[in-house]
Each structure stands twice: as C-alpha cells, then as structure tokens.
Amino acid sequence: MKTIQDYLNSGAIDIAPLLCSVLNKTSVELITQNGYVLTPNEKQTLDGFIKQRTDGVPFSYISGHQGFYHLDFKVDPNTLIPRPETELLIDIALDLFPDKGRPCRLLDLGTGSGIIAVTLADKNPHWVVLASDYSAGALAVAKSNDVTNRIVFLQGSWFEPINDQCFDLIISNPPYIEENDAYLQDLTYEPISALTAGKDGLNDIKIIINQAPNYLSKNGFLLLEHGFDQQDRIVKLLAENFTNIQTFKDYNAKDRAILAQVKQ
C-alpha cells in the first residue's frame, strides 16, 4: 500500500506532475488528499511512468501532452515537444495582422504537432490556414490537435505539396541544429529529422528561403525560427529576394526569429 505522500517523499523525478497525470488530480489536490492510497492499477501505471522518466523519457511524451500559448497539444515521439521559444512566432504573427476581420492566408511549414497552425487558426477565425510536414506520424498528431477543424494538412517535403497557391504569411520552425552538435545528446527521444539540418544547421532554412518567394503573395511575409548563432547568416541569405528584414530575440535574450517581406 502506498499513499500520495509516500510517492511525494520518494524524490523521483517529476513525481508531482506524474502523480497528477496518473490520478487526474491537481497539484493542490495532491497536498489536500496526500493520504490517498493508490489502487493497484494506479500504482502499476505510476511505477511504469517513474521508470520511463528515470530512463530519460521527457515528461511530455509520458503524459502525452504539452501546453503551448493558450492551448494544450497532444504530442508523441513522432513530434518535437513544443518549446516556449516558439511562442515568439505567434506573437510576431498576431502583431503583423492585428485586424482580426482581415483575411490572411497562412502556411505553416514543418507543422509537427500543429502548434503554430492551430494556435493562429484558433486566434483568427477568418484566416485560411494550411500546414505541411513530411512526417505522416506528425501530421496525424497535428490533425488530432486541430480544435478549429479548418486547417488543411498536406504531406510532403517543404513546398512540394503546395502546388500553385500563394500566402500572405509563411511561418516555419524548421530543423536548424548542426548535425554534430553535442546538445543532441540531450534530445535522443525526439525525432532527429525534426532537429538537424546538415553540417551548419541551415540546409532546410536555405530551401525555404530560396523557394518561399514563389509562394508569397504581393508584400507577403516569411517568418522563421532559427538557432541563436544563425541570425547574421540568415539575414545574408534573405538579402537577394527579401526586404524589411526584422530580427527578434527570445525570452532568454537569444537571437531566435526573423521576419522578412518579399521584394516585388
């Protein structure tokens, strides 16, 4: 027999949120109901979760969801776990099109769990939103996260599934980590194809910058998330076909996003 308090005393990693997840209780209820004795099924599930977490599985893959902006998203090992830094892209997009009644055609490239497309579609009921990814597993998760039921999901590599359409705003948080970056050792549970982009981490960003002008409407915008040390190189890559280039820092004051308007 084990109570909530026994588990809280155990010192296991993330024990409080794991208890909340298994018992469907709030953290306040864990304290006020700390004498509750777990049923054999609850104990078995929790012990399994504790083992996974001890082995290094990220909490979001165990709980199966992650909060982002104003919504909660399902995640699984097919999808990158949404990062708080990516909320910057949402703020920039909302500032760019403040008139909620004004239609905007948005494309989210490499949608993963769908966080960018779903958040912006939910905030802007007038927007037409397309989202693509080449991972069928990620797209299945993104579709299940579409609370708006309005997003068109397409499978394929970058612009390949888009055909002749044009967009007022193209957003992407593409893979941008260098393939030999030591930091990857901490990310072994997330799909490598969502993380790395060649030796300098810029392979996918280069494809997107080169092809985006063909898919942007007059004065359309491209908004990219990128690595903290890539901003200067990306500004140079944008110079030929883009103007009004603006750079942004994340919550940790690191260079993280870039917005540019296509030249006419």
Ligand X SMILES: C[S@@+](CC[C@H](N)C(=O)[O-])C[C@H]1O[C@@H](n2cnc3c(N)ncnc32)[C@H](O)[C@@H]1O
List own/partner pairs for 153-160 with CB under 8 A and 24 or more apart: 153/111, 153/114, 154/130, 156/132, 158/109, 158/110, 158/132, 158/134, 158/204, 158/207, 158/208, 158/211, 159/109, 159/211, 159/212, 159/214, 159/215
As a whole number of angstroms, the distance between CA 184 and CA 89 comes to: 23
Query: Considering beta carbons, is residue 30 or 234 the nearer one to ligand X?
Result: 234
- x/- mask, ligand X, residues 136-175, rule CB under 6 A, reads --x------------------xx--------------xxx
Question: What's the CA dihedral at 173, 174, 176, 179 to 10 degrees?
Answer: 140
As a whole number of angstroms, the distance between CA 53 and CA 48 comes to: 9
Site for ligand X (CB under 6 A): which residue of 135, 145, 230, 261?
135
Q: Could you tell me the smallest distance in angstroms from the CB atom of residue 228 to ligand X?
A: 14
Query: Considering beta carbons, is residue 16 or 140 the nearer one to ligand X?
Result: 140
Q: Which stretch binds ligand X (CB under 6 A): 8-16, 45-53, 78-86, 118-126?
A: 78-86
- x/- mask, ligand X, residues 184-223, rule CB under 6 A, reads ---------xx---------x-------------------
Q: Could you tell me the smallest distance in angstroms from the CB atom of residue 2 to ligand X?
A: 36
Site for ligand X in 80-109 (CB under 6 A): 80, 82, 86
Query: Considering beta carbons, is residue 69 or 97 the nearer one to ligand X?
Result: 69
Residues 6+ apart with CB under 8 A from 139: 111, 133, 153, 155
Q: How far is CA 193 from CA 4, 67, 175, in A?
A: 39, 22, 7
Contact call for residue 10 and ligand X (CB under 6 A): no
What are the residues binding ligand X (CB under 6 A)? 80, 82, 86, 110-113, 115-116, 133-135, 138, 157-158, 173-175, 193-194, 204
